[in-house]
Copies of this chain bind each other. A is one copy, B any other.
């Protein structure tokens, strides 16, 4: 069998009982992280703008958009969910292939579940999680095959592989047979797009959203026997050879059905550039261990990896965006607030006199002996007392995954920007209980903004 056929067969033949409980547990964590991001990004200008333009073109409004009051058809809901959940770039990442995996797959699945709520095609939590796990797996496996040359060339690997993941997930719910799944992958390959040249603009979050929408469309067409080339991945003019100067399709099927890619997923603890994460983490730990009052701080001395100062040597902050790439702000929020959520990188946070004072007291030097994943902090108090802390490995890495409680905090921190606390609590609880949910459309109901 070709690689395309092997992956299609894997998805169509998979039974819910084939997947170990550990994978379902990790899938729930990914869904919690996804849902928090989707709600947290729901009021961002990129999503407002896309809704403004495209809602007039939506079909029958059967699907809610996460964190919004608008409804639309599930294809557009997939797009809008994708924009909102990716816009803060606070979503999950697979460190080995740089894919933000949950966006394209979960965005399509929640749209599908909402559109089919209360119908014969209503999606149970078990079906949802299975489709999510399989879509995630397909997407990441295809990424493994073409990474790194595909990514380094400039492809936005989250959208180019995400369209396959969304097609697999929706295709599983639509009960495609294997031939149809092969066509769905062909129709995904037909639409695989998204380039890193768009980073820094609204088009960036559009890309994984469009991947969700296009993968969903691919599955619908395949279900109706709309034919496509049957060698989407390995063909001489297929996805791998066209988009990667070097690739290894064996990686796409390595330990297929034995190893699940969800085990390689990581959740971002802080809503900012990765290189300042160790400093936030170290300062947060000092704060917690020593119960620091910011008013007692005389100075903060950082030793950081040279890359950190190359990218983040901004002390005099003018705009919110700059705070995401300031090593001084990182130290300040860690010490004063013990976290780095969305609220720590706003204009208000930049103007906060406590944070401003701490930034001015922070000094940073580059040290080649410090890795990108480490930080060395020496805190000097006005009393003369000195506290030293060396962080060996940063929170959110594969070796130090966020705990479920930390995922809860991250969820609440984001979702309360958009939804009332009581609704946030109910949504969080319902999302953790997704395994036993009889109709996932009911979870989407809890994610709807009810208006002011």
A residues contacting B by CB (< 8 A) are 46, 49-50, 52-54, 56-60, 73-75, 153-155, 183, 186-187, 189-203, 206-207, 210, 217, 220-221, 223-232, 235-239, 241-242
Assembly CA distance A300 to B194 (angstroms)? 54
Find chain B residues with CB under 8 A from A201 CB: 183, 186, 227-230
When all copies of this chain in the complex are counted, the total is 2
**Is the CB–CB distance between A193 and B190 below 8 Å?**
yes
Assembly CA distance A289 to B269 (angstroms)? 81
**Is the CB–CB distance between A56 and B50 below 8 Å?**
no
Assembly CA distance A217 to B198 (angstroms)? 16
**Is the CB–CB distance between A198 and B190 below 8 Å?**
yes
**Is the CB–CB distance between A242 and B189 below 8 Å?**
no
- Shortest Cβ distance from residue A273 to the other chain B in the assembled complex, whole angstroms: 18
**Is the CB–CB distance between B237 and A196 below 8 Å?**
yes
**Is the CB–CB distance between B229 and A197 below 8 Å?**
yes
Residue of B53, B73, B187 touching A206 (CB-CB under 8 A): B187
Residue of B46, B200, B210, B232 touching A197 (CB-CB under 8 A): B232
- Shortest Cβ distance from residue A106 to the other chain B in the assembled complex, whole angstroms: 20
- Shortest Cβ distance from residue A193 to the other chain B in the assembled complex, whole angstroms: 4
Residue of B50, B59, B183, B202 touching A228 (CB-CB under 8 A): B202
Find chain B residues with CB under 8 A from A210 CB: 190-191
Find chain B residues with CB under 8 A from A49 CB: 221, 224-226
**Is the CB–CB distance between A154 and B242 below 8 Å?**
yes
Find chain B residues with CB under 8 A from A230 CB: 201
Q: A49-B226, A193-B191, A198-B186 are in contact. Are A154 and B238 (CB under 8 A)?
A: yes
**Is the CB–CB distance between A193 and B195 below 8 Å?**
no
- Shortest Cβ distance from residue A111 to the other chain B in the assembled complex, whole angstroms: 11
Find chain B residues with CB under 8 A from A193 CB: 190-193
What would 26 A/B residue contacts be, using CB atoms closer than 8 Å? A50-B226, A53-B220, A56-B60, A57-B60, A153-B242, A154-B242, A183-B201, A186-B201, A190-B195, A190-B203, A190-B206, A190-B207, A191-B193, A191-B210, A193-B193, A195-B237, A195-B239, A197-B231, A197-B232, A197-B235, A197-B236, A197-B237, A198-B228, A199-B229, A202-B227, A202-B228
Find chain B residues with CB under 8 A from A225 CB: 49
Find chain B residues with CB under 8 A from A60 CB: 56-57
- The residue in chain B whose Cβ has the minimal distance to the Cβ of A150 is B242
**Is the CB–CB distance between A221 and B186 below 8 Å?**
no
- The residue in chain B whose Cβ has the minimal distance to the Cβ of A210 is B191
Assembly CA distance A242 to B197 (angstroms)? 10
- Shortest Cβ distance from residue A120 to the other chain B in the assembled complex, whole angstroms: 16
- Shortest Cβ distance from residue A35 to the other chain B in the assembled complex, whole angstroms: 25
- Shortest Cβ distance from residue A74 to the other chain B in the assembled complex, whole angstroms: 8
Assembly CA distance A242 to B150 (angstroms)? 9
Find chain B residues with CB under 8 A from A220 CB: 53-54
Find chain B residues with CB under 8 A from A190 CB: 193-195, 198, 203, 206-207, 210
- Shortest Cβ distance from residue A16 to the other chain B in the assembled complex, whole angstroms: 27
Assembly CA distance A159 to B242 (angstroms)? 15
Find chain B residues with CB under 8 A from A186 CB: 197-198, 201, 203
- Shortest Cβ distance from residue A136 to the other chain B in the assembled complex, whole angstroms: 22
Find chain B residues with CB under 8 A from A191 CB: 193, 210
- Shortest Cβ distance from residue A159 to the other chain B in the assembled complex, whole angstroms: 8
- Shortest Cβ distance from residue A235 to the other chain B in the assembled complex, whole angstroms: 4
User: Which of A49, A53, A193, A238 counts the most B-chain CB atoms under 10 A from its CB?
Assistant: A193
